[in-house]
Amino acid sequence: MERVRISNIRARTEEPVEETRFTFCTVMAETNLANRTADRMKRRASMLSLVTNVSLTFIKVLAAVITGSVSLMSESIHSGGDVIASLVAFYSVRAAAVPPDEEHPYGHGKIESLTSFGESILLLMMVGFIFKEAIDRLAHASPIRSLGLGLWIMCLSAAASLSVGAVIRHVALRTGSPALKANGRHVMIDFWTSTGVVTALLVTQFTGWQTADAWFAMALGLWIAGSSIAMARESVEQLIDRRVSDDDIERIRDVLGGISGMISFHRLRTRHSGNVHYIEVHIVVPNDWTVVQGHEMADRVEGALEAALAPAQAVVHIDPYDAEKAHPSRRQDDGILGP
């Protein structure tokens, strides 16, 4: 039976290596080009975020001073935090784009994850300030002045935040940048908080309920806290090298399953660093292959994985077929490709 199995494996794997597949050098060149394009997109998006947040923060602070609205003041503080977050994102995407060096062979991508975690902590600190101001307003209620001015400013802020937030989130999805993802979440939170302030000011204007903006400020604070905790959890998972998503794992398995010449694969390990996927896998090839054949197969697999999950870096280890280890009771993975 074992002879029949080995004959089947050899018949399956003795196919010529297709010259039309990606070569290692070609894939690396395409990956480098994709990385440079992503870096340019991230720099432009972070600059747009920074300019927008600085402008809106200045306008909101001025309006908060004129109107005396605690929800508007809370929103001004929130926007001030957005400015800090934009500055951090602006510099972190540049730092993370620095190529690997002798002391950092895996690059500097985790700077973005660390930045995202820092932004979540900053948001939680802002929530504490918002609650303090809201409680003070409830204890010492005072009328809001110049409601019309406050409404116009907050409507302008909401429209600007929605537009800029959509652009940043689009770039974050295309580049996989954790820093821009966190920054885009900041800006979209700014849109919703601005909308909440507009609602509070309208309620005050039409009902005379002077503490409405304080209650709205606390409600928005709870929502910001929930978003911040989710952001912090995601950042920590990247910092402690959690594997890639289930969808990406399936893509990896599909790629490996579509390469002719392999018998099976095992010890698949993955992680993130910034927007780069790191993939390690052992593949099994016929035990009568030469070193050159094994090396060519490793290059093919690495190239296919890096092209499918770009930007990515793959490392493939070659194992010769061993009948004892191939026994079903010894298999540790579901990456068996042969009969």
User: Which tens digits make up the pLDDT trace of 260-298?
Assistant: 888 888 889 998 776 788 899 999 999 889 989 989 999
Helix (H, G, I), strand (E, B) or coil at 325: coil
Interatomic CA distance for residues 174 and 192, integer angstroms: 24
Quote the pTM value: 0.56
Q: Using alpha carbons, list the distances in angstroms from residue 64 to 2, 59, 60, 74, 145.
A: 81, 9, 6, 9, 10
Q: Tell me, yes or no, whether 234 and 261 share the same domain.
A: no
Q: What pLDDT score was predicted for residue 120?
A: 82
Mean pLDDT: which of 49-53, 66-70, 234-238, 268-272 is highest?
268-272
In a domain, 11, yes or no: no
Interatomic CA distance for residues 298 and 82, integer angstroms: 46
CB-based contacts of 57, cutoff 8 Å, min separation 6? 76, 79, 80, 82, 83
Give the CATH number for residue 161.
1.20.1510.10
With contact defined as beta carbons under 8 Å apart, do 42 and 171 qualify?
yes
In a domain, 18, yes or no: no
Q: Using alpha carbons, list the distances in angstroms from residue 235 to 73, 114, 154, 182, 311.
A: 29, 7, 31, 9, 19
Give the CATH number for residue 264.
3.30.70.1350
In a domain, 192, yes or no: yes
With contact defined as beta carbons under 8 Å apart, do 248 and 270 qualify?
yes
Q: Tell me, yes or no, whether 275 and 213 share the same domain.
A: no
In a domain, 46, yes or no: yes
Query: Which residue do the tokens 């909101």 mark?
Result: 60
Q: Tell me, yes or no, whether 259 and 179 share the same domain.
A: no
% of the chain at pLDDT higher than 70:
78
Q: What pLDDT score was predicted for residue 323?
A: 74
Q: Tell me, yes or no, whether 183 and 233 share the same domain.
A: yes
Q: Tell me, yes or no, whether 281 and 156 share the same domain.
A: no
Nearest to 338 by CA among 264, 232, 280, 269: 264
- Structural domains in the chain (count): 2
Q: What pLDDT score was predicted for residue 316?
A: 93
With contact defined as beta carbons under 8 Å apart, do 187 and 168 qualify?
yes
Residue range of the domain that includes 316:
244-330
Q: Tell me, yes or no, whether 118 and 55 share the same domain.
A: yes
Interatomic CA distance for residues 182 and 111, integer angstroms: 13
Cα 189–chain centre separation: 17
Tokens at residue 102, please? 């002798």
pLDDT in tens, 19-44: 434 444 554 455 555 556 777 777 78
